[in-house]
Amino acid sequence: MAGARATPLPSGYDDVFVNAVEEDLLCAICHLPLKEAVQTGNCGHRFCRLCLNEHFRRLELNREPLNCPVDRNRLIRRRDIFSDKATERKILSFIIKCPSEGCQWSGELRSKTNHLASCSLKIVSCTNDNCSETMTRNNLQKHVTTTCRWRILRCNFCSASHPECKKEAHLADCKKFPLRCSQNCGAFILREKISTHIKEECPLTIISCPYEHIGCTAKIQRKNVEPHVQTSVEDHLDLACVKLSDGQKKFEETTRKLTKLEERVNHLEKNIQCSEECCNSFTWRISNFREVLRKAISGEKTDIESTPFYRSGYKCKLHMNPNEDGSEDEDEDEDTYLSIYIIIMKGEYDAALTWPFQKKVIFTLIDQQENANNRENIVVSLTGTSGPESCESFARPVTDQNIGWGFGNFVSHEKLGERRYIVDDTIFIQVRITSPALMHY
C-alpha cells in the first residue's frame, strides 16, 4: 500500500503491529502510531496527546507562543486542538502481537491491556516486600512462595513472622529456641528460661548448704545436697546448739533493751502530755507595725487578724485594734491602747469538744531583748466561762465565728516605746491555751 510503513516500529515502542501503519496515522512528533490522537483545527496535523502537550510545555517554559510543531502555525489550545476519535478507533482496531517474548497471542490493539493482565510470559516484579527480582508471570507463584529470599516464614518455636533471609538472625534471638544447658547437665531449655533453670533447677549448680542459717559454710552442687545433709548431721547439730545459745543471749539482751525503751517511752508520753497542757502556744508575727499604728492613729480603720489556728482541738484566731480607747475614765486620754482579743471559730472537732470553752488563754507581748533573762514580756490572761457576759464568745459556734473576747487596754502606746517590743518594725504576740488549773507560764 502506497504511503504505508511495515513493522517493526522504532525502538522503544513495545507494540508489534501485524499490518503496516499508514503514515498519516503516525504522530508527527514521535513518529509512532498515534495514542489518544489529537488534531490541529487549522492545519490538520495529527499528534499523540502527550507528545503535543510536552511540545506546548517547552514553549510555555521559554515564554514562546504556542504553534504547530510541523508548520509553526500559531495555535490556541482551547480553540485549535481536538480529539481525533475516528483515528483513535482505527488504530485500536489494528492487529498486534504480544510483546512478551515467546507469547503467540495476537489481537486488536484495544485488547492489549486485558491480555497483558493475564499473559503468562509477561515480565513481572516479585510481590514480596523488599524483593526487586523480576520473572515471567508463570514463575511468579513459585518464586513468591518457595525461592524468594524475602518470603515470609513463621518461626517453628515462637510463631513470630520474619523474612527467610533473616531466619538465622531471628533464631539467634528467639526466646523460645531450645538451648543446651551451659553447665552441661544434658537438659535443653528455652532461651528465656535458661537463667531460671541454672538458678533453681540445674543439678550441677553450686549452692549453699540448706543449714547455712545456723553456720554451715559448705558449697556443693545441687545434686549432692542430700548426701551432704546425711553425712553432716553431727556437725549441723553442733552448729544448731551454738546458734541456740547465741540466740538466747541476744534474746536476753533485746529484752533488757526493750525494757529500757519502754521506760523512755513512758517518760516521753508524760513529757508530751505536759507539753500539750503547758506549751500549747501560737505566735503571731506582725510586720510593718509602725505603718499600721500610724494609720490607726490618723483615724483609718486598721483592725487586723491572724490566720486561724487549732489549739487543744479548738479553732481560734486573734484580733487586734492598734488604736483603741481602753480606758473607762473619761479624764484619761483616748485612743492610746493596743487591744487584743481571741475569737472562737467553727472547727472540725467541735462535736468532740467540751462546751462552753473554759480554757485559760494567756496573751504575751514578747520583749525582743537579745538576752532572754533581761526580757520584760507583757502578759495578761483570761479564762473562758459560761457566764452571761461571755456566753456569746465561748459557746459552741453556730456561725463561722463568735464575738471576740479579750483586752481593750492590752498595752499602751507609751509603754510600747519603753522597751524592745518593736524591733525591725515587727512585734510578736504569743497566745497559749491551757487548762484552768495550770496557772504557771
- Whether residue 73 has pLDDT greater than 50: yes
Give the pLDDT mean for 59-66: 93
- Whether residue 7 has pLDDT greater than 70: no
- At residue 439 the predicted structure's pLDDT band, cuts being 50, 70 and 90, is very low
- At residue 383 the predicted structure's pLDDT band, cuts being 50, 70 and 90, is confident
Q: What is the pLDDT of residue 205?
A: 93
Q: What is the pLDDT of residue 6?
A: 36
- At residue 110 the predicted structure's pLDDT band, cuts being 50, 70 and 90, is confident
Q: What is the pLDDT of residue 267?
A: 62
Q: What is the pLDDT of residue 19?
A: 61
- Whether residue 50 has pLDDT greater than 70: yes
- Cell numbers standing for residue 376: 520584760
| Euclidean distance between CA atoms 179 and 186, whole angstroms | 10
pTM of the predicted model over 0.75: no
- Whether residue 392 has pLDDT greater than 60: yes
CA atoms in the 13 A half-sphere facing the CB of 76:
2
Give the pLDDT mean for 107-118: 89
Question: Are 340 and 363 within 8 A, CB to CB?
Answer: yes
- At residue 335 the predicted structure's pLDDT band, cuts being 50, 70 and 90, is low
% of the chain surpassing 90 pLDDT: 65
Q: What is the pLDDT of residue 437?
A: 58
3-state secondary structure of 348: coil
pLDDT, tens digit, 9 for 90 and up, residues 361-379: 999 999 999 998 999 999 9
% of the chain surpassing 70 pLDDT: 88
- Whether residue 78 has pLDDT greater than 70: yes
Question: Are 315 and 345 within 8 A, CB to CB?
Answer: yes
- Whether residue 33 has pLDDT greater than 80: yes
3-state secondary structure of 168: helix
Give the pLDDT mean for 201-221: 93
pLDDT, tens digit, 9 for 90 and up, residues 263-320: 776 666 555 454 544 457 999 999 999 999 999 989 888 899 999 999 989 999 999 9
Question: Are 263 and 410 within 8 A, CB to CB?
Answer: no
Give the pLDDT mean for 375-403: 87
Q: What is the pLDDT of residue 14?
A: 57
Q: What is the pLDDT of residue 3?
A: 37
3-state secondary structure of 305: strand
- Cell numbers standing for residue 276: 500539750
H-assigned helices in 279-359: 289-297
pLDDT, tens digit, 9 for 90 and up, residues 129-187: 999 999 999 999 999 999 999 999 999 999 999 999 999 999 999 999 999 999 999 99
H-assigned helices in 193-316: 194-200, 225-231, 233-278, 289-297
Give the pLDDT mean for 20-31: 87
Give the pLDDT mean for 321-335: 65
Q: How far is CA 9 from the centre of its chain?
A: 67
Q: What is the pLDDT of residue 387?
A: 57
pLDDT, averaged across the chain:
87
